[in-house]
Structure 1
Amino acid sequence: MPDAITRHGLPPPNRMPPMETTGLKAAIYARFSTDMQADRSIDDQISLCTDFALKQGLTIAETYSDAAQSGGSIFGRDGLLRMMEDARQNKFQVIVIEALDRLSRDMEDLAGLHKRLSFQGIEIRAVHEGKVDTILVGLRGLVGQLYREDNVHKVRRGMAGRVKDGLHAGGRAYGYQAIDGKKGELEIIPAEADTVRRIFTAYAAGTTPRAIAKELNAEGIAPPRGARQWNASTIAGNAKRGTGILNNRIYIGEIVWNRVRMVRDPDTGKRVSRPNPPEQWQRQAAPHLAIIDQTLFDQAHGQKASRAHGDHAKYARRKHLLSGLLRCGACGGGMQSYGKGARGTPRIRCSSAKEGGFCPDSKSFSRTAVERLVIEALRQELAHPDVITAYVQTYHAERKKLAATANQRRDALNRKIARLDAECERTLDFMIKGIGHEERLKQRIAEAEQELAEARRELAALDPPPPVIELHPATMTRYRETLDALATAIGNDIEDDPEAVVE
């Protein structure tokens, strides 16, 4: 890496020239990546950066850190986000780090951080790299990302090798436990193996996953690690992803790896799984891990296939107003549809009670009544004077911002037009006075006139800036009437007339 830096005109890190001592306020940032690293790593980085800052004549204003946080994303890094917020408030003028990869190992994130800090007039100084500029950000961002991606490939290669050797590549499988001191080797847990056989036998005989789950919960049989209870999805799972007891081929002595891959969502920083095509799956026989025979496994999957072609497979669950928002007061589980009552009104019930019989409160409730209670409470909250005041303030602020944005572009175009007009006049004056190369001056006038025409066309096409309208007192009356109308619309059967809510 030093050679690469030298080629771009920068001296090697260990021979960076001394910097001026200015007495500027400095922030120190430290980070380490995984739980396997010691917390001491943060202390060591801060100590190193402190010594460096003092030698530079900087005054340390604040210290920020993130422990056991990946440099592949800025999400979840509270220390970094707090530092960037303080940077926007100009609490310091310099950021001191051990190396650029402490800020980020992602090219986009590192460039974005540097761009925002530069806009605030804040300098980044790295102990091992000196003052950070655009070239160094580009080089280090590329190296950091390549390092991170190379590590991913090495980890996957190692996992593929373990599977090829008949070892488990990781993850939890109900019915097995890791053998102490033997990485990747599993052994069968007899009690859990009996439960696995019971599930496959019952399902092959026609018992539904929901009924099986209820029986297991009623008997107090512990669910898989990480689950609160047995439910239908724990047993049936997802065939494409290989989840669920019934889809796991390890129970017939076959390890299947690489069904899914993990990718990081750039907008949230969260890792999400994506199914891989079957031709990318890696299979390895492991007969010592078999709990059931092939015949029982095939019978269960034959039952599964026959049910998949039934009418219930075509059923699409309809969304309603509070879908995904309601929680059971007894156990905290989600609420889901539960048919209709005697009067034909839709009912809802705790999913834990419905799927696994786990919830102590198995009552169902009128969905319409619950929706009315919620919307009435919401209407009262929105009608509170403080909320109305906030509504008016937000409205005025947004209108002013829209007007300012429109005027900003209009002003920029007017300035451009004035500049080009002046340039054309100056160039023409040079030609008249015989100053400069005539052909080049003609070419420049033609270019300037073309830019001028484009700027005038864009200006003419702009919408007029929105006027900043003050809310009339009568608008507040209309606001309350709209809330009442919304409550009425939702009180009616909105599934028959969903546009009523929009209107």
Structure 2
Amino acid sequence: MRWLRTSPRQSVICWLRAISCRSTARSFQIPTGENMKEFFLPPPNLRRPGSTVWAYLRDSGGAAQENSVPQQEAEVRAYCDRYKLALVEIFRDVAKSGGSVTGRDDFERMIDMSKIKDLRPDGLLIWNFARFTRDKDDSTFYKALLRKRGIVIHSMTDPIPDDDFGSRIVETVIDLSNEEKRRQTSRDVKRGLKALVSEGFSPGTPPKGYKRSAPIERGIKRDGKPRMVSKWERDPELWELVILAWTMRAEGRSLQEIQNATAGRLFTSPASWNGFFRSKTYLGIGVSGDLEVENHHEAAITRDVWEAVQKLNRENPMQQDHPRHPRRVGNPSLFTGFTYCLECGSMMTHTPGHKNKPWRYYMCGTKFRQGVKYCKSRRVGAQRSETAVLDAVINRVLTVDFFDQVIHVTRAKFSDTSATEKKIAALKERAVDLDVAFQRAMNAHEKTGSELALERMKQREGERAQVKAEIAHLESQIAASKLEIAPEAIQIAMNRWREQITEARKGDDIKFVRAWLYRFVSRIELGYNRAQIYYTYPMNDFSLADALFAFPLRGGTNNNPA
């Protein structure tokens, strides 16, 4: 490779020519044995013997790739043996699309493991960058993330120059090429599926009540073998059950009644019927994306039955877009939206318990979704903790003595406000910079439609909101240090607040009680036998004849919910 001694610009041109030549090849034979050393590219930044590496392997599935991941693994192991690399972990995503990282469990596990400094390897081996991901934004983001964590990413087959200038340009070209290849493949597949459906054929798995017909020859493949397709026809074992289910639903029968009538032969759970009763397949319509072909196959129901069932679907309050969905009516928990796990800081989730043994409790959201290994916290009884927090607010936070202590501590803490004022000035400069960055990201997203630009725009928006909240908090602290409130006004406000929240507790309207509690509690960190309450005072309630205070006083207090 004599050209490596030329200028960076000439190097990039040579590499682009190599990529262009490679992209024109339809197929190639994977080398083995002694030929491997001439085919695979040596690891430029992993030359130290014993360097630790991970390997990420992926294929897209299908008959042509059924052995792809095992072949990649065999070559990776041979590659590590040749260059004396220590292969400590292999991540495999079999039959997973490269168009997105969603659903690629081992890819996500690899990213999560890279967060732990002691587990990070020196490098990551991939067959090529297309195996890593075919989405340009994902590729840019995750490669930058791994590299910032000190991990060298090495493609065994993509020709990447050693110099930093040329490597970044060539990688970008490869990523663009991979993404365009994915788009072309997706368009070709969708076009092929639509063509099959429009001709009366039925790709994919038949729905309940249908089965595939005998194979039908449709053209010849490139390898000379016949291309076999099929149509959908009625399944005599389930056909009458399908008609029965639709008829019962049109009459307004419940899903449980339909489940019992069909004896579990169609579905084993009532929850599985929702998609069944929305499928236009049973009208005899063939569907492929936005294409709908009438009289595609034999219909199981009439249009009248379809309309009756869809009317019931629209009236069902459990539908996500229904205005009376339970989550829109309100979650019957007092701490919804501002309670966090005392152990890990994740948002707490409320659970009513089993229907046969109801017991309301709060549980760490991370533990609820990912399991006990991610958080060691325990479940907290809802009634016990809610009562303890409400009692603490009424009997401690909303008392004149406690308020006086807060005022005294605040004045002592902020007697010299020069440092706070400097911090506010710095935050305001930061807010201006974030406004500019947000506008740039928004312009980039509008011009290019880049998902990475959209992600940056969301990130800047969150940072901007956080900075503005910090500014408001610091300004309120300065104002609180100069606060003068008549003792009579404090006593009147405290009495009124306690009366209002006590009266709210007597009713059954959880949302009303929560609205009052949220006026005085901005955050609760909840543990099994203790809680940290972050309180706030709505100072506009201290309205006097000569002043109106419209800023909060914030603080925190420990409370034992036991």
C-alpha change, 1:501 and 1:100, in structure 2 (3 Å) is same
Cα-to-partner distance string for 1:90-110 (whole Å, 9 max, x where unaligned): 643332222122222111121
Residue of structure 1 equivalent to 2:299: 290
Find the aligned partners of 2:207 and 2:357 in 1 and give their Cα distance.
26
2:286 maps to 1:255: yes
Helix, strand or coil at the partner of 1:8: helix
Contact 1:27–1:94 (Cα < 8 Å) also in 2: yes
Contact 2:12–2:169 (Cα < 8 Å) also in 1: no
- How far does residue 63 in structure 1 lie from its aligned partner after superposition? 2.6
2:204 maps to 1:195: no
C-alpha change, 1:373 and 1:62, in structure 2 (3 Å) is closer
Residue of structure 2 equivalent to 1:221: 263
C-alpha change, 1:320 and 1:199, in structure 2 (3 Å) is same
Find the aligned partners of 1:23 and 1:87 in 2 and give their Cα distance.
25
Residue of structure 2 equivalent to 1:94: 123
Contact 1:162–1:184 (Cα < 8 Å) also in 2: no
C-alpha change, 1:300 and 1:165, in structure 2 (3 Å) is closer
Find the aligned partners of 2:271 and 2:325 in 1 and give their Cα distance.
24
- How far does residue 248 in structure 1 lie from its aligned partner after superposition? 4.2
Contact 1:26–1:59 (Cα < 8 Å) also in 2: yes
C-alpha change, 1:303 and 1:155, in structure 2 (3 Å) is closer
Residue of structure 2 equivalent to 1:27: 53
Residue of structure 2 equivalent to 1:52: 79
Give the AA of the match of 1:103.
F
Contact 1:95–1:125 (Cα < 8 Å) also in 2: yes
Aligned-residue identity in percent: 15
2:195 maps to 1:161: yes
Residue of structure 2 equivalent to 1:119: 148
- How far does residue 325 in structure 1 lie from its aligned partner after superposition? 5.5
2:139 maps to 1:110: yes
Find the aligned partners of 1:311 and 1:126 in 2 and give their Cα distance.
52
- How far does residue 153 in structure 1 lie from its aligned partner after superposition? 1.2
Cα-to-partner distance string for 1:265-292 (whole Å, 9 max, x where unaligned): xxxxxxxxxxxxxxx4321423x52334
Cα-to-partner distance string for 1:134-154 (whole Å, 9 max, x where unaligned): 123211211121122222112
Residue of structure 1 equivalent to 2:175: 141
Give the AA of the match of 2:122.
Q
Residue of structure 2 equivalent to 1:320: 331
Helix, strand or coil at the partner of 1:190: coil
C-alpha change, 1:145 and 1:320, in structure 2 (3 Å) is same
Residue of structure 1 equivalent to 2:443: none
2:13 maps to 1:8: yes
Find the aligned partners of 2:311 and 2:115 in 1 and give their Cα distance.
59
Give the AA of the match of 1:45.
Q
Alignment of 1:458-477 (within 5 A): none
Give the AA of the match of 1:195.
L
Cα-to-partner distance string for 1:341-393 (whole Å, 9 max, x where unaligned): xxxxxxxxxxxxxxxxxxxxxxxxxxxxxxx963425778999xxxxxxxxxx
Find the aligned partners of 1:298 and 1:464 in 2 and give their Cα distance.
60
Total equivalences in the alignment: 338
Find the aligned partners of 1:319 and 1:195 in 2 and give their Cα distance.
38
Find the aligned partners of 1:44 and 1:310 in 2 and give their Cα distance.
51
Residue of structure 1 equivalent to 2:232: 186
Find the aligned partners of 1:146 and 1:492 in 2 and give their Cα distance.
58
Residue of structure 2 equivalent to 1:500: 516
Cα-to-partner distance string for 1:425-456 (whole Å, 9 max, x where unaligned): xxxxxxxxxxxxxxxxxxxxxxxxxxxxxxxx
Provide the alpha-carbon RMSD of the alignment.
Answer: 5.1
Alignment of 1:231-270 (within 5 A): 234=273, 243-245=275-277, 248-258=279-289
Find the aligned partners of 1:59 and 1:306 in 2 and give their Cα distance.
63
Contact 1:375–1:490 (Cα < 8 Å) also in 2: no
For structure 2, list consecutive stretches of 5 or more residues without a partner in the other structure: 1-8, 20-38, 162-166, 217-228, 337-348, 361-379, 392-418, 431-469, 478-497, 520-562
Find the aligned partners of 1:201 and 1:331 in 2 and give their Cα distance.
32
Give the AA of the match of 1:29.
A
- How far does residue 115 in structure 1 lie from its aligned partner after superposition? 1.6
Helix, strand or coil at the partner of 2:89: strand
Residue of structure 2 equivalent to 1:74: 101
Runs of 4+ in structure 1 over 6 Å off: 15-18, 306-314, 330-333, 378-383, 406-409, 464-467
C-alpha change, 1:30 and 1:409, in structure 2 (3 Å) is farther
- How far does residue 55 in structure 1 lie from its aligned partner after superposition? 4.4
Find the aligned partners of 1:33 and 1:332 in 2 and give their Cα distance.
46
Q: Give the TM-score, by structure 1 length.
A: 0.53
